[in-house]
Chains A and B, each alone.
Chain A
Amino acid sequence: MPLSAGSRARITLVSLAGALTLAVVAGVVFGAVRIPVEDVFGALWRALGGNGGGVGDAVIVDLRLPRVLLAALVGASLATAGVLYQALFRNALADPYILGVSSGAGLGATIALVAGGTSLLGRVVGVPLGAFVGALLTITLVVRLASRAGRLEATSLLLAGVAVSYTLAAVTSFIMVFARESMQAVVFWMMGGLTGASWPYVGMLSVMLAVGITAPLLLSRQLDLMLLGDERAGQLGLDVERFKLLALACASLMVAGAVSVSGLIGFVGLMTPHMVRLILGPNHRVLLPASALAGALVMVLSDLVARIVLAPVEIPVGIVTALAGGPFFVWLLVRKVRAR
Chain B
Amino acid sequence: MSPGEVLVSFSHATVGYGAKAVVSDATFELHAGEIVGLVGPNAAGKSTLLRALTGGADVLGGDVMLAGTPLAALGSQERARLVGVVPQTPTATFAFTARAFVEMGRNPHLGRLQDLSAEDRAVAADVMELTDTARLADETIDKLSGGDLQRLTVAQALAQQPRVLLLDEATAHLDLNHSLQVLDLVRRLADSGMAVLGVFHDLDLAARFSDRIAIVAEGRVIEPVSPEKALDADVISRVFDVRAVVRPDPVTGAVSVTPIVRGADVARPSRGPVGVVCGSGTGAPLLRRLAVAGVRATCGALSEGDVDFAVGGALGADIVTLPPFGEIDETAEARVREAFAASAMCVVCGTPFGRANVGNLRAAVRSCTRLVLVGEMTAERDFSGGPATALWDEAIAAGAVRVSTDGEALEALLGMLDDEEKRDG
On A, residues with C-beta under 8 Å from B are: 1, 5, 90, 149-150, 218-219, 221-222, 224-225, 227-229, 231-232, 234-240, 281-283
Residue of A nearest to B80 (CB): A237
Q: Is residue B160 within 8 Å, beta carbon to beta carbon, of the partner chain? A: yes
A-B contact pairs, 12 of them (CB 8 A): A149-B17, A149-B18, A219-B112, A221-B107, A221-B115, A224-B104, A229-B91, A234-B54, A235-B56, A281-B140, A282-B96, A283-B100
Q: Is residue B113 within 8 Å, beta carbon to beta carbon, of the partner chain? A: yes
Cα A281 to Cα B140 in complex, Å, equals 9
Contacts A236-B80, A236-B104, A236-B108; A282 near B56 (Cβ below 8 A): no
How would residues 14 to 47 of chain B score, 1 for a CB under 8 Å from any chain A CB and 0 otherwise? Answer: 0001100000000000000000000000000000
Cα A124 to Cα B382 in complex, Å, equals 103
Cα A51 to Cα B54 in complex, Å, equals 65
> Are the C-beta atoms of A218 and B113 separated by less than 8 Å?
yes
> Are the C-beta atoms of B115 and A235 separated by less than 8 Å?
no
Q: Interface residues of A: mostly helix, strand, loop or mixed?
A: loop
In the complex, chain B residues whose CB is within 8 Å of the CB of A1: 138
Give the contacting residue for A239; candidates B75, B105, B138, B140; CB below 8 A.
Answer: B75
> Shortest CB–CB separation between residue B353 and chain A, in angstroms?
60
Q: Is residue B362 within 8 Å, beta carbon to beta carbon, of the partner chain? A: no
Residue of B nearest to A285 (CB): B115
Cα A283 to Cα B160 in complex, Å, equals 20
Give the contacting residue for B81; candidates A224, A237, A240; CB below 8 A.
Answer: A237
Cα A234 to Cα B78 in complex, Å, equals 11
Q: Is residue B273 within 8 Å, beta carbon to beta carbon, of the partner chain? A: no
Q: How many residues of B contact A (CB 8 A)?
A: 35
Q: What are the 4 tightest A-B residue pairs by CB atom distance, in nearest-first order?
A: A237-B80, A237-B108, A282-B94, A237-B77
In the complex, besides A221-B110, A235-B87, 15 extra interface pairs with C-beta distance below 8 angstroms are A149-B18, A150-B18, A219-B113, A222-B112, A224-B100, A227-B93, A231-B87, A234-B56, A235-B80, A236-B80, A236-B104, A237-B108, A238-B107, A281-B140, A282-B94
> Are the C-beta atoms of A283 and B96 separated by less than 8 Å?
yes
> Shortest CB–CB separation between residue B117 and chain A, in angstroms?
13
Residue of A nearest to B54 (CB): A235
> Are the C-beta atoms of A234 and B55 separated by less than 8 Å?
yes
> Are the C-beta atoms of A234 and B76 separated by less than 8 Å?
yes
Q: Is residue B237 within 8 Å, beta carbon to beta carbon, of the partner chain? A: no
Cα A222 to Cα B54 in complex, Å, equals 18
Give the contacting residue for A281; candidates B77, B85, B96, B105; CB below 8 A.
Answer: B96
Residue of B nearest to A242 (CB): B76
In the complex, chain A residues whose CB is within 8 Å of the CB of B296: none
Cα A227 to Cα B95 in complex, Å, equals 10
In the complex, chain A residues whose CB is within 8 Å of the CB of B93: 90, 227
Q: Is residue B79 within 8 Å, beta carbon to beta carbon, of the partner chain? A: yes
Q: Is residue B97 within 8 Å, beta carbon to beta carbon, of the partner chain? A: yes
Residue of B nearest to A228 (CB): B104
> Are the C-beta atoms of A236 and B94 separated by less than 8 Å?
no
Cα A90 to Cα B93 in complex, Å, equals 9
In the complex, chain B residues whose CB is within 8 Å of the CB of A231: 56, 87
> Shortest CB–CB separation between residue A15 and chain B, in angstroms?
21
> Are the C-beta atoms of B17 and A236 separated by less than 8 Å?
no
In the complex, chain B residues whose CB is within 8 Å of the CB of A283: 96, 100
How would residues 65 to 109 of chain B score, 1 for a CB under 8 Å from any chain A CB and 0 otherwise? Answer: 000000000011101110111010011011111001000110110
In the complex, chain A residues whose CB is within 8 Å of the CB of B55: 234-235
In the complex, chain B residues whose CB is within 8 Å of the CB of A234: 54-56, 76
Cα A50 to Cα B62 in complex, Å, equals 73
Cα A237 to Cα B18 in complex, Å, equals 21
In the complex, chain A residues whose CB is within 8 Å of the CB of B138: 1
> Are the C-beta atoms of A224 and B96 separated by less than 8 Å?
yes
